[in-house]
Structure 1
């Protein structure tokens, strides 16, 4: 089962992914505040709060990050599936 960390405020994406069989954990606060949890996740889904105007995240982690800003839950799932196989 894919383990996904979801930034707070993306409840529609979290609900969709849960219904699709993903293990979803809501991350409280920013990604930087959750660094200790990130190693146990397969992917992180953000609302774009930790990204610059070019879409690059400044957070250092080996865990892939998907920016859900402007995407449907299905589009987020598609990106996750491309990130982790």
Structure 2
């Protein structure tokens, strides 16, 4: 399964993704992951403005944990 970094405030999303078998870690500046799930509240969530990644970044604002899971599944398949 995929390694997914989840912003700390999204505990319900983190728990749901773990229940689906994903390796879920907290999001921080040094996190390596296949996908990142953020709230969209912080424009510069990683603390660096020049960060680029080939990983999927999902803004979970307004989404259910199931919808986040579906988006991750679509992007990583």
Q: Where do 4+ consecutive residues of structure 1 move more than 2 Å?
A: none
Q: Which has the higher helix share?
A: 1
Aligned pair count reads 71
Shift of 1:62: 1.7
Q: Name the structure 2 match of 1:55.
A: none
Paired position in structure 2 for 1:13: 13
Aligned to 1:74: 66
Distance 1:24 1:76 in 2: 13
TM-score norm. by structure 2 comes to: 0.82
RMSD between superposed Cα atoms in Å: 1.6
User: Gapped runs of 5+ residues in structure 1?
Assistant: 29-33, 52-57
5+ residue gaps in structure 2? 44-48
